[in-house]
A and B are shown apart, each in its own frame.
Chain A
Amino acid sequence: MKVGYYPGCSLTGTGKEYDLSLRKVASLLGMELEELNDWSCCGATSAHATNHLLSVALPARNLIIAKHQLLNEVAAPCAACYNRLVSASTEIKTDSAAEREIMELLGDTPANDINIINIVELFEKIGKENIASKVKVDLKGIKAACYYGCLLVRPPKLTNFDDAENPVSMEELIKAVGAEPVEWNYKVECCGGSHSIAHKEIVVDLSKKIIDDAKLHGADVIIVACPMCHSNLDMRQRAIKKEFPGRDDMPVLYLTEFIGLAMGLKPKELGLNLHMIETKSLLDKAEIKG
Chain B
Amino acid sequence: MSHTHSEVNTLSAKVEKLTSQTPQECYQCGKCSAGCPIRNYMEDSPNQIVRYVQLGFDEKALHSKTPWLCAGCLTCSTRCPQNFDLAKFMDAMRQIAINEKIKIPESDTVEFHKAFLNQIKKHGKAFEFGLVREYKLRTMNLMQDVDVAPEMFIKGKIALMPHEVKDKKSIKVIFDKID
Contacts and interface: CB of A to CB of B under 8 A. Distances in A.
B26 interface: no
A114 interface: no
A197 B120 contact: no
B125 A193 contact: no
Contacts of A192: 37-38, 71
Contacts of B38: 190, 192, 202
Contacts of B135: 197-198
A46 B124 CA distance: 14
B142 interface: no
Contacts, number: 159
A140 B148 CA distance: 34
Given A14-B158, A40-B165, A49 B173 contact: no
Given A9-B125, A14-B128, A105-B177, A195 B71 contact: yes
A190 B92 CA distance: 21
Nearest to B117: A46
A61 interface: yes
A61 B171 CA distance: 9
Contacts of A115: none
Interface residues on B, range: 35 or more
A154 B178 contact: no
A228 B108 CA distance: 19
Given A9-B125, A49-B113, A106-B173, A190 B37 contact: yes
A156 B92 CA distance: 21
A58 B174 contact: yes
Contacts of A273: 155
Interface residues of A, number: 55
B49 to A, nearest CB: 15
B75 A150 contact: yes
A55 B56 CA distance: 28
A122 interface: no
Contacts of A51: 95, 98, 178
Nearest to B155: A274
A188 B156 CA distance: 30
**Secondary structure type dominating chain B contacts:** helix
A164 B74 CA distance: 10
Given A12-B163, A194-B71, A274-B155, A202 B41 contact: yes
A38 B165 contact: yes
Interface string A50-64: 111111011001000
A46 B177 contact: no
B170 A54 contact: no
Contacts of B120: 40-41, 43, 46-47, 58
Contacts of B77: 154-155
Given A46-B112, A105-B177, A154 B75 contact: yes
Contact of B126 (A9, A105, A197, A242): A9
Given A51-B95, A106-B173, A197-B112, 9 more contacts: A9-B163, A14-B158, A46-B113, A150-B75, A155-B87, A164-B78, A193-B72, A194-B72, A197-B145
Interface of A: 9-10, 12-14, 16, 38-41, 43-55, 57-58, 61, 105-106, 150-151, 154-156, 164-165, 188-190, 192-195, 197-200, 202, 206, 235, 238-239, 242, 273-274, 276
23 contacts: A12-B163, A13-B157, A14-B152, A40-B125, A45-B116, A48-B91, A49-B113, A53-B178, A58-B174, A105-B177, A106-B170, A106-B174, A150-B73, A155-B85, A155-B87, A156-B78, A198-B106, A198-B111, A198-B112, A202-B38, A202-B69, A202-B71, A235-B152
